[in-house]
Amino acid sequence: MPSIKKDYKRPWYVVRWKDLEQQVDYIQVAINAAGGIAAVVDDPSPQLGGDLDLNGFDVTGTGSVIIGRDVRASGQIAAGTEANEFDAGTVEINWRSGNTQSLDGSTLLLGPGSMTFIGQLEGASYAIVYDAGPTPQNFTLPTGYWMNGAAFDFSTLAADQRAMITFTYVDSEWYYAVKELVLVP
């Protein structure tokens, strides 16, 4: 039987059949930039529709990079300067045995939700806890001793108040103190 070529055309694609046995010779796809998007960056609401394989690359961005879902990591999450800001939800930071986290000088911004530290912080450090939410927030440090005998109740922080927490690790025990409690200007 002789080969018969037949085209199936639509405004956005062309399929050319190689023969009557329905073997495709080629498919031509035309993208009309005037009627659609010219590049992914032009899409105001891109959607993956499935898992994203980074193939060994990083996800980076300028300005704020907002992730609106749970984040789970099988490797390391590296947080740079001022990266300890959490706007919503419940945050549980758990360092595995032997790993430590330095909060020295970090500002911990509490939005609606709570923040819990489990594991070992680096000793002889301080952190500023700042309540940015309209309602009281919860903030929990690893079990330890408070210099004044009672743990500071972070839920008493009013909106726009901050507490400076000093902490040190001595003889396998945590010791904490609230150095200051001030209104943020």
pLDDT of amino acid 171: 78
pLDDT of amino acid 59: 74
pTM of the predicted protein model? 0.44
Q: How confident is the model at residue 37 (pLDDT cuts 50, 70, 90)?
A: low
* Pairwise CA distance, residues 133 & 145, whole Å: 27
Whether 91 and 113 have beta carbons less than 8 Å apart is answered as yes
Partner residues linked to 141 by β-bridges:
none
pLDDT of 170 higher than 50:
yes
pLDDT of amino acid 81: 47
The candidate with the shortest Cα–Cα distance to 133, out of 103, 152, 157, 115, is 157
Q: pLDDT tens across 135-146, in order?
A: 666 777 777 788
pLDDT of 177 higher than 80:
yes
pLDDT of amino acid 162: 78
**For residues 172 and 73, which has the higher predicted lDDT (pLDDT)?**
172
Q: pLDDT tens across 84-123, in order?
A: 555 545 666 665 555 566 666 677 766 656 677 666 666 5
Q: Which residues contact 109 (CB under 8 A, 6 or more apart)?
A: 84, 85, 86, 87, 130, 132
* Pairwise CA distance, residues 25 & 7, whole Å: 10
The candidate with the shortest Cα–Cα distance to 15, out of 27, 30, 31, 29, is 27
Q: How confident is the model at residue 4 (pLDDT cuts 50, 70, 90)?
A: very low
pLDDT of amino acid 104: 65
**For residues 78 and 169, which has the higher predicted lDDT (pLDDT)?**
169
pLDDT of amino acid 41: 66
- Give the dihedral sign, CA 127/138/79/169: positive
pLDDT of 124 higher than 70:
no
pLDDT of 39 higher than 70:
no
